[in-house]
Structure 1
């Protein structure tokens, strides 16, 4: 489990949550219907790269980005993501769906630190943020441990919770301790495919 790299979390989300929802993050959104390519045609040499892009069941498209800190200038990056996706639909001669900009913050960031809007008059970007710091991680861990000890098959949402849980802690020593506990618990999962999936995350 390489929790220091948020790209792994985004990869896991893409693989695990086709047909699933964002409930694990506390977001009430339609379920994921299709995982879309994340490359954006960019005028600049440095090509923009999204963490995830999903088509949701209501026909909207959700750009998902993961952040371990909050910077106001990131909103320019999100604006570039949005215009890049709109341009991609234009290049493909398709109507651009309604776009959602979802930002998932690790436990390092609290809700009060974040402004979800970027308003410069003619353009207004509204984020749909999720905060892993708001997860009741200790309770979640106890529930998952109980299931594993009873040799129950875990749901997809359980697996995702197990993988993201250490990211919900703020202090480095807490994260490291939870990583150790999570790895230990993952090795006890009876279903081999679930065990390998969790450890690969």
Structure 2
């Protein structure tokens, strides 16, 4: 008897790690906030005794040495949400001693939140809010994605990020669950099947709690016919990390560092570093 395909239990963590690793250069520009560029992705599992079985969604180390702490929310903020975020930030600050910028991204259905800060006297919290309900047009984005597939064009990294967040965006033609299924059926027509299945899996993982039946079961049937999502995730995460190493190595080459030291720092082979030399000369 065939076992039904299931998204791994840590589905949201897998999807968010995918966002962090694969789209670290696109994520902050996507929000529209005027922040420094992302320098690196940092650990989200800070030890918190008071808040069990919860973890921070995304953390990016920015070029100015601050940390962008990203949280995704599907409802308006309550005081216990800000209390939980405060626990996260204080623990992270204790570990790294770096200032933290908090950004909260609200999915469709949330157009505002009245609780924008929490002042308990000794600590005053503040954050930026991004509302996918009115800041991003899901119908236009979906139409653009369909058009690129029809024309046989490849997706940019920005467009791949939009695909993962599309079910959270505002739509007048559908709802989050139906949009996720429509997107799945559309991506099945994408010629690069491995990328298509990876995007479907990551999209479902990020939006798992928002996608309802019967659409969820239909999407999982599609993934059941593909290579298991977690295997695909690992492959693309490895690719993302490798590309990050190459970026670091190229910058060190430009600064004149010798290849042996670069290899020691990045873990790249001498041959891989030699392949970067033509890029150095063209810059």
- Shorter-chain TM-score tier: 0.7 to 0.9
Match of 1:155 in 2: 156
Where does the alignment leave 5 or more consecutive residues of structure 2 unmatched? Answer: 1-5, 203-283
Choose from 51, 56, 64 the match for 2:57: 51
CA distance in 1 between counterparts of 2:94 and 2:150 reads 50
State whether structure 2 residue 70 is matched by structure 1 residue 69.
no
CA distance in 2 between counterparts of 1:44 and 1:115 reads 22
Tell me how many residue pairs correspond in the alignment. 191
Match of 2:175 in 1: 174
CA displacement at 1:26 relative to structure 2 = 3.6
Once the two structures are overlaid, the 10-residue window that deviates more, 14-23 or 120-129, is 14-23
Change (3 A) 1:47 1:84: farther
Deviations 1:99-145, CA, capped at 9 Å, x for gaps = 1111111113112x243221223321111121111211111111121
- 4+ residue runs over 6 A deviation: none
Change (3 A) 1:43 1:146: closer
Match of 1:27 in 2: 33
Q: Hey, which of these two has a bigger chunk of strand by percent?
A: 1
If the length of structure 1 is used for normalisation, what is the TM-score? 0.83
CA distance in 2 between counterparts of 1:128 and 1:62 reads 10
Change (3 A) 1:80 1:176: same
Change (3 A) 1:40 1:146: same
1:117-128 equivalences under 5 Å are: 117-128=117-128
Match of 1:87 in 2: 94
Change (3 A) 1:12 1:28: farther
Change (3 A) 1:78 1:106: same
Deviations 1:131-182, CA, capped at 9 Å, x for gaps = 11121111111112111111111111101111211122489x6122211210
Change (3 A) 1:115 1:150: same
If the length of structure 2 is used for normalisation, what is the TM-score? 0.60
Match of 2:193 in 1: 192
Match of 2:116 in 1: 116
Match of 2:45 in 1: 39
Question: Does the residue aligned with 1:109 lie in a helix, a strand or coil?
Answer: coil
CA displacement at 1:44 relative to structure 2 = 4.3
Larger radius of gyration: 2
CA distance in 1 between counterparts of 2:164 and 2:52 reads 31
Where does the alignment leave 5 or more consecutive residues of structure 1 unmatched? Answer: 90-95
Q: Hey, which of these two has a bigger chunk of helix by percent?
A: 2
Change (3 A) 1:64 1:187: same
